[in-house]
């Protein structure tokens, strides 16, 4: 039966121009590099087609929308298709760190949660969530998050990079060459910091380390990088899941964004536990950004149509659904899991789609939705016409609101919801 591809495109009149990536085997070994990889600024760009363990659907290549999920038999309405419990890279926005449980993302309309871990500054809704988080993080995770928290808090209270928050979202996205050059230019400082950490350091290398620590911190970017490095270190299987996702070769939405990542890299090189240093590399961080960009799900409040955007995360197994504005699959977050349920009866061979939109976007007109789904308004850009996922980046959303492009939505409580 012929697959029904791009239902939304027709509904919205979108002119999507998404290139098809051929599935190829994974080429990125998970093991730590033998030596610091500061001169490697490449990312792994291959994807493979996973085989889900279900008789309900299969993932297949489509002519013009990459891989997609197709029903392999008739499925009744309200059938649970899959449960994604493989949260890997994720960020809980700093502004919400006292209000959202770091384990199950419970949120009670802005109430500060009762249990706080003093070294990481994370809060929990219950002792069991706290214990579960600690067990999953392990000693190395606690050490890494403690080090990041110290950096974010700074000696004189909270540090914020003003430029980062205020950047114009319409600035051009860095090209792949810009990205390679930025990471390359961080490499000599990185080498010095590594030498200083190894204790074989003349004064100049110790200075490099001190300089990295004096730079302004962007806590949410730092958290993204810590999370990525920990996934790469602790969960080879989940990291492979990340590698399997469709990459965005231009994941940084501005030069300020790119600089925040290279700076976070140097800062983390200066403070993370020794064991994590072999994976604290441009390759890890570029790979993480490139996969996160089109594959993250927003983590939102469960009430008020998800008006509170707490953060975002990658659930590798959930990232093969394409977007439709008339989806036949609905998604529900239950704690750290996503559940996908068929909304109406589907026939064998039908494409199973979710909506990438949420909150206010669901009630937007087609023009507004089309704008939200476009990666770029520049037809020359490879992002042009590409549907973008939720967060696409919380960083961008925060800036959009701070620039007042959504009048009345200023302030972090009113970040415009995207999914």
Ligand X SMILES: C[S@@+](CC[C@H](N)C(=O)[O-])C[C@H]1O[C@@H](n2cnc3c(N)ncnc32)[C@H](O)[C@@H]1O
- Chosen residue from 82, 90, 322, 383 binding ligand X by CB under 6 A: 322
Q: How far is the CB of 54 from ligand X (least distance, A)?
A: 17
Q: Take residue 158 and report the two structure tokens written for it.
A: 């909270």
6 binds ligand X (CB under 6 A): yes
Task: Assess 194 for contact with ligand X (CB under 6 A).
Answer: no
Cα gap 322→339, rounded to integer Å: 16
- Could you say whether residue 254 binds ligand X (CB under 6 A)? no
Are 246 and 66 contacting, i.e. CB atoms less than 8 angstroms apart? yes
Site string for ligand X, 64-103 (x = CB under 6 A): -xxxx-----------------------------------
- Which residues partner with 10 through β-bridges? none
Contact by Cβ (8 Å): 253, 399:
no
Shortest Å, Cβ 7 to ligand X:
7
Does position 9 bind ligand X by CB under 6 A?
Answer: yes
Chain centroid offset of residue 93 CA: 12
SS3 341: strand
- Rounded-to-integer distance, Cα 270 and Cα 267, Å: 5
Specify burial of residue 410 (Cβ count, 10 A radius: 0-12, 13-18, 19+): middle
Q: Does 393 bind ligand X (CB under 6 A)?
A: no
Q: Does 8 bind ligand X (CB under 6 A)?
A: yes
> Which position's Cβ is nearest ligand X?
66
Given the rule CB under 6 A, which of 118-126, 215-223, 297-305, 317-325 is the region that contacts ligand X? 317-325
Which region, judged by CB under 6 A, interacts with ligand X, from 269-277, 315-323, 390-398, 409-417? 315-323
Q: Per the structure block, which two tokens stand in for 303?
A: 């009430």
Closest Cα partner for 325 from 4, 5, 12, 3?
A: 12
Closest to 198 measured CA to CA, from 39, 31, 35: 35
What is the nearest approach in angstroms of ligand X to the Cβ of residue 376?
12
The nearer residue to ligand X, 286 or 373, going by C-beta atoms, is 373
250 lines the binding site for ligand X (CB under 6 A): no
Contact 370, 388 (CB under 8 A): no
**369 makes contact with ligand X (CB under 6 A):** no
Write out the residues near ligand X by the rule CB under 6 A. Answer: 6, 8-9, 16, 18, 65-68, 246, 294-295, 319-320, 322-323, 386-387
């Amino acid at each position: 039966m012929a697959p029904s591809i791009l239902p939304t495109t027709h509904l919205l009149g979108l002119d999507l121009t998404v290139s098809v990536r051929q599935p190829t085997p994974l080429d990125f070994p998970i093991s730590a590099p033998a030596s610091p990889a500061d001169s490697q600024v490449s990312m792994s760009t291959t994807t493979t087609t996973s085989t889900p363990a279900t008789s309900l659907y299969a993932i297949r290549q489509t002519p013009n929308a990459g891989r997609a999920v197709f029903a392999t038999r008739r499925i009744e309405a309200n059938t649970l298709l899959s449960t994604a419990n493989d949260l890997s890279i994720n960020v809980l926005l700093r502004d919400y760190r006292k209000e959202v449980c770091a384990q199950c993302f419970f949120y009670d309309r802005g109430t500060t949660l009762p249990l706080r871990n003093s070294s990481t500054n994370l809060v929990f809704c219950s002792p069991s969530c706290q214990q579960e988080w600690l067990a999953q993080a392990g000693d190395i995770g606690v050490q890494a998050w403690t080090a990041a928290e110290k950096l974010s808090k700074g000696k004189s209270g909270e540090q914020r990079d003003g430029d980062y928050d205020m950047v114009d979202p319409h600035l051009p996205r860095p090209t792949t060459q810009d990205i390679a050059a930025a990471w390359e230019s961080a490499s000599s400082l990185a080498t010095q910091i590594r030498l200083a950490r190894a204790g074989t350091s003349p004064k100049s290398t110790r200075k490099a380390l001190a300089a990295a620590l004096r730079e302004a911190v962007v806590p949410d970017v730092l958290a993204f990088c810590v999370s990525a490095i920990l996934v790469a270190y602790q969960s080879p299987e989940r990291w492979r899941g990340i590698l399997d996702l469709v990459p965005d070769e231009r994941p940084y939405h501005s030069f300020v964004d790119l600089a925040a990542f290279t700076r976070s890299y140097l800062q983390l090189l200066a403070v993370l536990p020794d064991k994590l240093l072999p994976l604290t590399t441009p390759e890890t961080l570029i790979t993480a950004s490139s996969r996160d960009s089109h594959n993250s799900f927003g983590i939102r409040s469960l009430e008020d149509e998800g008006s509170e955007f707490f953060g975002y995360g990658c659930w590798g197994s959930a990232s093969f659904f394409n977007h439709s504005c008339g989806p036949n699959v609905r998604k529900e977050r239950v704690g750290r899991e996503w559940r996908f349920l068929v909304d109406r009866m589907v026939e064998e061979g039908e494409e199973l789609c979710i909506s990438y939109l949420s909150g206010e976007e669901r009630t937007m007109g087609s023009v507004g939705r089309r704008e939200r789904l476009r990666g770029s308004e520049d037809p020359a850009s490879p992002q042009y016409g590409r549907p973008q996922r939720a967060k696409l980046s919380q960083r961008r959303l925060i800036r959009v609101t701070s620039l007042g492009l959504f009048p009345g939505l200023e302030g972090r409580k009113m970040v415009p919801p995207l999914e």
